[in-house]
Each structure stands twice: as structure tokens, then as C-alpha cells.
Amino acid sequence: MILYGYKGSLVRTTALPGAVCPACNSFNTMQASVYSQYAHVYYIPFFPFSKKAIAQCTSCQQGWEEKGLPAQLHTAVQSAKQSTRLPLWNWAGVGVVAVGIAWAAVAGQRHERDRNAWLVAPRAGDLYTVHSPGDSTKFSLLKVVSAHGNTVEVVQNEYEIDSNDPVSELNAPSKYSKESESLTQLDLQIMHNKGQLTDVTRLD
């Protein structure tokens, strides 16, 4: 199975007015066909990387690739090639990736805003993703059980995992400590600024 590679596709065929066929000497029978070469991944065109042109006589059918092009056709074929714009669909894959990156950036910014808003106005049920104190590859959760004024009561999850997204795996009531502890808003901000509290999740 071919995952990636390149393909050629005909972009346009155009007459070369005034040209004489080097093979049969017919006048005004020459045409140039311009191809785009594009890289594809899983047959989705990603980006074009070159143009190729061939010249052909419509009378005697003789054709020439660029490499073996007779000198008298050179200028006309080059100008046909240069005036041919590569089709936009050759860029389809790059377009899809660019849209995906833009979408991720917007979603990331939105999540950042939510996280900051949730951190300054905690609500029972909020989950804080936290680093294990001694090991920044291990993550656990703190769950807010109540929030009053400047103070939040949290329970510590008794498990930790290697993923920075522990919510789906660890957020079960039985996995939390029975003892709660108090944290102040300032504590939370400090943990966040130190990178010890890496995310806030609010399950609605």
C-alpha cells in the first residue's frame, strides 16, 4: 500500500501560436501540455512542487519532453509553462492541516481562558490536574468538594498515572481520599504558576 508519493496531473493544454513543428514543418499545429507534480499522502494531494511541460504537434503527433525540446520551441513552451497556475486543489492537504492547526490554537486559547476563570471562581466538582510533587511525569487529581470565599476544600486522588490527562481514568469517587484539605485561592495560583497544577476540568 502506498502511503505517500507524488503524482502528476494535466493542468492545461494550450496552443503555441506561430510555432512550426520541428518534425513535419506544419505551421500553427504545436501545442504545449503543462502538468503539475504534487506530493500526496494517502492519495490526498498535499502540495505541488514542480511543473512539467511537453510539446506536441497535432498534425504529425510527434511529442517532445522538456529535456529533448528542440531549441526553436523553447521560448514558447517556457512561457506556456510560466503562465500556467497550479490548481488550488494541489494544496488540499496543506489546507486541511493549516485549518486543523488554527482550530487547535483557537481551542487552546479558549481552554486557557476557561481554566483561568475556573481557577479564580472554583465550584464544587472542579478537578485540578496536579503533578506528583517529586515526579513531573506522574499526574493525579484534586477534586473540589466545596468552595467558600477564599478557601476551597479538596480531596486528593489516591492514584497517579503517566498521562497529563488523568480525568477519565482517575475520576471515580472511590479513588479519592476520605479526608479533605483546605487550600486558599493563593495556594491554587501559586501551584498554577509553578506548573504544579496543570489543568482545570469542569464537568457539566
Where along the sequence are the contacts to Zn ion (CB under 5 A)? Answer: 21, 23-24, 26, 57, 59-60
Contact 100, 106 (CB under 8 A): no
| CB-nearer residue toward Zn ion: 53 or 57 | 57
| CB-nearer residue toward Zn ion: 34 or 57 | 57
Shortest distance, position 52 Cβ to Zn ion, whole Å: 21
SS (H, E, C) the chain: CCCEEEEEEEEEEEECCCCECCCCCCECCEEEEEEEEEEEECCEEEEEEEEEEEEEECCCCCEEECCCCCHHHHHHHHHHHHCCCCCHHHHHHHHHHHHHHHHHHHHHHHHHHHHHHHHHCCCCCCEEEEEECCEEEEEEEEEEEEEECCEEEEEEECCCECCCCCHHHHCCHHHEEEEEEEEEHHHHHHHHHCCCEEEEECCC
Shortest distance, position 64 Cβ to Zn ion, whole Å: 10
| CB-nearer residue toward Zn ion: 59 or 163 | 59
Shortest distance, position 58 Cβ to Zn ion, whole Å: 8
| CB-nearer residue toward Zn ion: 32 or 57 | 57
Shortest distance, position 14 Cβ to Zn ion, whole Å: 17
| CB-nearer residue toward Zn ion: 33 or 129 | 33
Shortest distance, position 12 Cβ to Zn ion, whole Å: 21
